[in-house]
Amino acid sequence: MKRLLASALCAASLLCAQTRLAPRPAAAQRPKLVVMIVVDQFRYDYLTRFRAEFTGGLKRLLDRGAVFTNAHYEHAPTVTAVGHSIVLSGAMPANSGIIGNEWLDRATGKQVTSVSDDSVDLLGVEGKKGASPHRLLVSTVGDELKMSGRAPAKVVGVSIKDRSAILPAGRMADGAYWFDKPSGRFVSSTWYFKQFPEWAAKFNDRKVVEKFKDGGSFDKTAEGKAGNDIVELFAEAAVEGENLGANGGTDVLAMSFSANDTVGHAKGPDSPEVHEITLHTDKVLARFFDFVDKRVGLSNTLFVLTADHGVAPMPEVMQSRRMPGGRMTEGAVLDAISRALNDRYGEAKWIAGKSAYAPYLDHKLIADSKLDLEEVQHTAAQAVRAVPHIARVFTREELRRGLAQSDMVGRRVQNGFFYQRASDLVIVAEPYWLFEKIGTSHGTPWNYDSHVPIVFMGARVKPGRYHGSAAVVDIAPTLSMLLDVEVPSGASGRVLTEMLAQ
Ligand SMILES: [Zn+2]
């Protein structure tokens, strides 16, 4: 009867057109579990280059998922903490406050990481400082599920790296767990609970990851290929321990595979090692999908795959291709700044801290010297512009006033800018130029760092390949719509309506 009445009203109203396009998901249609999979440093082209060799989880995602072929991060710096802060918040650093892996905290004058927190203790091993999402200023999809007042939702994050476990899960998570290499144990912090959960302690005590030790320690293994096996094993334990997928509502598991990043940094995207670990990731994901299928059922689970950033090719490989690129030193940039400021304003230690290679000037020194901050920034910027292979330099005051060029690079830098935590200069090197002496890296606004996979797989998702522009900030609003909860507070993306089954 209700339906009849609705369609009668529909006939006369524009509103119903929207109702038909985006039907409100009934409780029965909502997934019981959302699995957010982040592969650390995974270029989109790994999916196409190695596709023929996938037999496991990546093959399943490509065959049965909605694959976005032109999905990007729309911010810089494209680094781990920022990528992980975006996947389930949909918020740019400009709004989330997560501007890098680390930065200078102006209030204390200390370098901090995106998740370092002296007010909490580590749990799982004794006597270490903990970590928490206290610097994340926005909500995540998990937080919104918690705040929706619906059936209880559990939210858990798992990774080798602390930031990669903590940031996607959000502030209200039931737990985030990461790997403490010296002890070979998963740990968490008193942000989440006073006592380390029994299931997690049991996992540690069973020493199931011992077999992955390499040369008597986890120094190499935890971030080598076995790092992904370790995360997968612990994720299974988390699903069992927290009864994920069977708590009456929708639960969220965010898992991040860190090993790909370590291999990628050392060997580069064109290496046999990256090829190998990508195929290994395919197998690890197959195991996890099989586990979820038995435990929760694939039809009850919504999977999302993405990466936290891409990576640049090795400069040496690029040179052999007669493409641009090369190496410069971070020192060259910082020295140029120091020299220019010393020459102009007198000898002093002008640089107080860094976020990657973005410098923080000593504001107290500048104020004590009765100098104009904007002018000092300008002097420093001019010095960096004179360094070969620097594409652009932005000052903090220019970005505060929104003066970045409105093209792709300027837009991405502006989206990454959060005034209170920002460095005094943001420096963008020419494409394919790196500040690293060896290996390769990421962090730039260029497309090789921003282009990542987005794949959704599950009920109400129409499998296929979608070539229109998409952004990683679109994941959170799309999930919010599918789960029928509020959009996270800082989310700026759109709902990926093209992949929704009617
Ligand atoms: Zn990363």
Which amino acid, 216? G
Q: Phi then psi for 165, rounded to 5 degrees?
A: -85, -40
Higher-confidence position of 14 and 142:
142
How far, in Å, is the centroid of ligand 1 from the Cα of 152? Answer: 31
- CB–CB of 202/184 below 8 Å? no
Q: Are residues 306 and 358 in the same domain?
A: no
How far, in Å, is the centroid of ligand 1 from the Cα of 224? Answer: 14
Q: What is the pLDDT of residues 270-290, one digit of tens each?
A: 999 999 999 999 999 999 999
Q: Are residues 347 and 224 in the same domain?
A: no
How far, in Å, is the centroid of ligand 1 from the Cα of 39? Answer: 8
How far, in Å, is the centroid of ligand 1 from the Cα of 13? Answer: 48
Give the per-residue pLDDT at 160. Answer: 96
Per the DSSP assignment, residues forming a β-bridge with 116 are 131
Q: Looking up tokens 């790997």, which residue turns up?
A: 179
Residue 239 lies in a domain: yes
226-241 and 198-205 helices, crossing angle to 10°: 140
Which one, of 462, 468, 452, lies nearest residue 482 by Cα? 462
Residue 196 lies in a domain: yes
d(CA 420, CA 193): 30
For the cut 70, the answer to whether the pLDDT of residue 364 exceeds it is: yes
Give the per-residue pLDDT at 223. Answer: 63
- CB–CB of 269/440 below 8 Å? yes
d(CA 181, CA 215): 13
Give the per-residue pLDDT at 21. Answer: 52
For the cut 90, the answer to whether the pLDDT of residue 13 exceeds it is: no
Average of pLDDT values for 60-70?
98
Give the per-residue pLDDT at 215. Answer: 81
Higher-confidence position of 284 and 10:
284
Which amino acid, 329? T
How far, in Å, is the centroid of ligand 1 from the Cα of 284? Answer: 19
Average of pLDDT values for 451-477?
97
Q: Are residues 251 and 361 in the same domain?
A: no
Q: Are residues 293 and 384 in the same domain?
A: no
Residue 278 lies in a domain: yes
Which residues of 245-291 form beta strands (DSSP E)?
251-257
Q: Are residues 397 and 258 in the same domain?
A: no
Residue 146 lies in a domain: yes
Residue 463 lies in a domain: yes
> 145-149, 211-215, 239-243, 493-497: which range is least confident on average?
211-215
Give the per-residue pLDDT at 3. Answer: 46
Residue 266 lies in a domain: yes
Which H or E run includes 85? helix 80-87
How far, in Å, is the centroid of ligand 1 from the Cα of 22? Answer: 34
For the cut 80, the answer to whether the pLDDT of residue 218 exceeds it is: yes
For the cut 50, the answer to whether the pLDDT of residue 9 exceeds it is: no
Q: Are residues 296 and 381 in the same domain?
A: no
Give the per-residue pLDDT at 25. Answer: 59
> 39-48, 96-105, 221-230: which range is least confident on average?
221-230
Single residue among 406, 434, 462 that ends a domain in this structure: 434
How far, in Å, is the centroid of ligand 1 from the Cα of 80? Answer: 3
Give the per-residue pLDDT at 108. Answer: 93
pTM here is 0.94
How far, in Å, is the centroid of ligand 1 from the Cα of 160? Answer: 11
Per the DSSP assignment, residues forming a β-bridge with 433 are 326
Higher-confidence position of 41 and 151:
41
**How much of the chain exceeds pLDDT 90, in percent?**
87
How far, in Å, is the centroid of ligand 1 from the Cα of 341? Answer: 33
Give the per-residue pLDDT at 1. Answer: 41
For the cut 90, the answer to whether the pLDDT of residue 47 exceeds it is: yes
Which residues 6+ apart lie within 8 Å of 474 measured at CB?
Answer: 71, 90, 454, 493, 494, 495, 496
Q: Are residues 364 and 481 in the same domain?
A: no
Looking up residue 377, the CATH number of its domain turns out to be 3.30.1360.150
Q: Are residues 461 and 424 in the same domain?
A: no
How far, in Å, is the centroid of ligand 1 from the Cα of 472? Answer: 14
Q: What is the pLDDT of residues 23-42, one digit of tens each?
A: 555 666 899 999 999 999 99
Catalytic residues: 80
How far, in Å, is the centroid of ligand 1 from the Cα of 148? Answer: 31
Give the per-residue pLDDT at 220. Answer: 76
Give the per-residue pLDDT at 27. Answer: 67
Q: What is the pLDDT of residues 385-438, one digit of tens each?
A: 999 999 999 999 999 999 999 999 999 999 999 999 999 999 999 999 999 999
Single residue among 407, 434, 461 that ends a domain in this structure: 434
* Residue 216 banded pLDDT, cuts 50, 70, 90: confident
Alpha carbon distances (Å) from 144 to 150, 250, 376, 484: 10, 11, 43, 10
For the cut 50, the answer to whether the pLDDT of residue 15 exceeds it is: no
* Residue 22 banded pLDDT, cuts 50, 70, 90: low
Query: Domain range holding 270?
Result: 23-312+446-499
d(CA 324, CA 322): 7
Q: Are residues 464 and 388 in the same domain?
A: no
For the cut 90, the answer to whether the pLDDT of residue 68 exceeds it is: yes
- CB–CB of 35/253 below 8 Å? yes
Q: Are residues 31 and 113 in the same domain?
A: yes
Half-sphere exposure of 391 (CA within 13 A, CB side): 16
Q: Are residues 165 and 288 in the same domain?
A: yes
Q: Are residues 423 and 470 in the same domain?
A: no
Looking up residue 125, the CATH number of its domain turns out to be 3.40.720.10
Residue 100 lies in a domain: yes
Residue 297 lies in a domain: yes
* Residue 217 banded pLDDT, cuts 50, 70, 90: confident
How far, in Å, is the centroid of ligand 1 from the Cα of 84? Answer: 8
d(CA 265, CA 267): 6
Q: How many domains does the chain have?
A: 2
Per-chain mean pLDDT for the chain: 93
Give the per-residue pLDDT at 83. Answer: 98
Single residue among 434, 456, 474 that ends a domain in this structure: 434
Per the DSSP assignment, residues forming a β-bridge with 359 are 354
